Amino acid sequence: MTKNDIPLRERIILALDVDHPAKARELVKNTETYLGFYKVGLQLFMASWFDVVDWLIARGHKVMVDLKFFDIPETVRLAVAQLKNRGVTFATVHGNDAILRAAIQEKGDIKLLAVTVLTSFGEEDLRDMGMTGSVEDLVYLRARRALDLGCDGIVSSGLEAARIREKLGEKLLIVTPGIRPGANTSENLDDQKRIMTAQAAIANGADYVVVGRPITRATDPVSVIESMQAGISKGLEKRNR
């Protein structure tokens, strides 16, 4: 499957960031007519271990296991090995070259995504750490390194996707969190700092968008999904001109 062949119902990865597997199953049942890709992160994984992951795959859905592995390389290698042969599509790793290399050794058929810079991290955080340059520079450097090491893709905000596509072409999958429905970023009142609409992220070069609260906390989740999918279609049209 090429990137242009990704079904629209898989372009949105719904983040099941809930504290109980029953809540996750309810969210899936209420959205699976429209979506086919779900994210299991730390909170839900700690509550259910592989139960929800296996349940999702048994229902024919794709799964992103977003545990952002970060530890000594051998520990990360062994952790990634636990995901093999379970039907997982994406897994995330957060770390240096040695950590990424170790993860790649055991990824098997899993698409391994290197986390670049969390979308809750902004320019002021960079300065607080005494680092020079911009978040965009840091994301690009980490994306280029992930490609060189053999990762399948990266996790980055849509703000950096355009530069990555321009410089690195279509060699990496770009999975973008920090998606919000409104175009005005000043309306964002949560913990995400580098945000963008689904349409803009896809137009900039993202292949998938990860969406949680704008859908899971909406009074009408289906309408939000349909609106985002319409925006994604427009973003793809713009990108493919």
Catalytic residue among 23, 68, 84, 234: 68
**DSSP codes, 169-218:** TTSSEEEE--B-S-S-GGG--SS--S-B-HHHHHHHT-SEEEE-HHHHT-
Catalytic residue at 167?
no
33 Cβ neighbours under 8 A, 6+ residues apart: none
3-state secondary structure of 84: coil
C-alpha gyration radius of the chain: 17
203 Cβ neighbours under 8 A, 6+ residues apart: 234, 235, 236, 238, 239
Residue 17 · residue 44 · CB < 8 Å: yes
Distances (CA, A) of 62 to 19, 56, 182: 20, 7, 27
Find the helix or strand (DSSP H, E) in which 120 lies: none
Catalytic positions: 68
